[in-house]
Structure 1
C-alpha cells in the first residue's frame, strides 16, 4: 500500500545561495574608542579581553570623554569614576584613593609600571583605564585598592591635525597640539605637545609645564607592528600642601597679608 502523501511528494530541488561577505573592523584594545563605551581592555589580564569577560570592575575614560570634559590630569580623569577619588599629593604628584586605599605608586603606562612620584598630564593619552580591586596577580607588587593604566596615543595611517587652546581664571593658559600622518604604507608618525602657564588664587603658587611626545609606528606585515615613542615633560610649579608657611622654602608663602 502506497501512502498518497509520500507518493505526491516531489523531491526538493537544490537551492544555492549567493555568498554574503560581512566586513567590519576588528575590535581591539589598541584601537581608538569611538564614544564613551569601551568594549575591550588589557588592564586586567594584559591581553586583549572584552570587559564583560574580566572578573574585576574596570572603568575606561575614552578619548571622546577626555575631550568633552576638557580633562587635563589624572585627578580630573577619575572625577566621575565610582569608588575612586583624587587626593592632594602634596601638590606635586598624582595620589589616588581606591575604595579607601590610598596610593601613589599603582600607575601604569601601556601596561608598564610607572610609579614615579610626579604629576602626569594626559595630553598624549588616548584613554585611561581604571582597574578596581587587588592587582597583584596581574602586575606583581601592587596595592589592594586598584590601578591606573594610561594608554598612549599611537601613530596611525589616518591623518590627524588638532590644536586646542584654553584660557581660564588666574591667567590659566594652555595650548595642546596633536599632529600625525602616514610616511608610507609601512610607517606612520605622530607628535603630541603641550604648554601650560598659569597662576593660582593663592599668592606665590605658580606653574609652568611643557612636554612633547613623538611616536612612530612601523608595520612591515599584517601581523607585525612596532611602536616606538619617547616623552619629554618638564613641570615647574610651587608645591602647595594646603597650609601656607611664613617665608617657607619650597612651599606657598603668605605675601602681603595683614
Structure 2
C-alpha cells in the first residue's frame, strides 16, 4: 500500500454477463455499503450492455460502474465501438484502456492506448491504463524495460492522480492461476512509482497502481499488502459477489 492513497478494488467482467448476472452486481453493491467504503473504492466494469442497468442498481451504493474499453473518437463511423462519452452518458465513471487482451487480440499500440486515455479524460472519466510484460519478455529480463516503454507511450501528458490509475498485469499471469512472487511485484511497483513521480511529480506519487493477474480471495491479502500496490484489477474472481467481496474485505485488516 501507498501511504495516504485510497485503494481501489476493480472488477473486470470481460465478455461475461447478461441480465441474469445482475443479481451478482446487486449483491456486490449491497456488500460495499459499510464503513470500509470510506477507506476503499470499489468498481465493476461489466460488458457495455449492462452499464446503464448496473448504474441504476448502484444508485444507493458506493460501488462505481465503468466500461472495459472506449474508442478515441467521440462519435462517427466506427461500427461496434463505444465512445467514452457513451459510457459517461450511462453514468459510468471509469474505463479500462490498454488491457493486454485488447493489445494482443486487436493489436492496440501504446499510442492508441494513450489516445483512448485522453478520450476518457475529456469525457471526465477515470482511465485505468493497463501495462505488463509477456512471458518471453519476463524470461529475457525485460520486465522493467517494457513497463517503462508502456508508461511513456500509454500515459498522457498532464495525467492526474484523480483521473488516472495504472494497472500492472503481467500477461503471463492473467487467468493462469500463477502470480509473480511478492518480491517481483514489489520491484515492479516501486519502479513504476519512481517513473510516475519523476514524470508527474506529486501527481505521480499519488497515482494509484493496481496489481492484476490471478488475484483471488486466497492471495489478495498478501498481494495488497505489498508496498506501492494500491488495489487490484480482478478478473474471474469478480464475477461472483462472494469472491469479489472477500478481496475487498482484506482491507478491513490492512487499513485498520
Aligning the two structures, in what range does the TM-score lie when normalised by the shorter sequence? under 0.3
More helix by share: 2
TM-score by length of 1: 0.25
Which structure carries more strand by proportion?
1
Larger radius of gyration: 1
After TM superposition, the score normalised by the length of structure 2 is 0.25
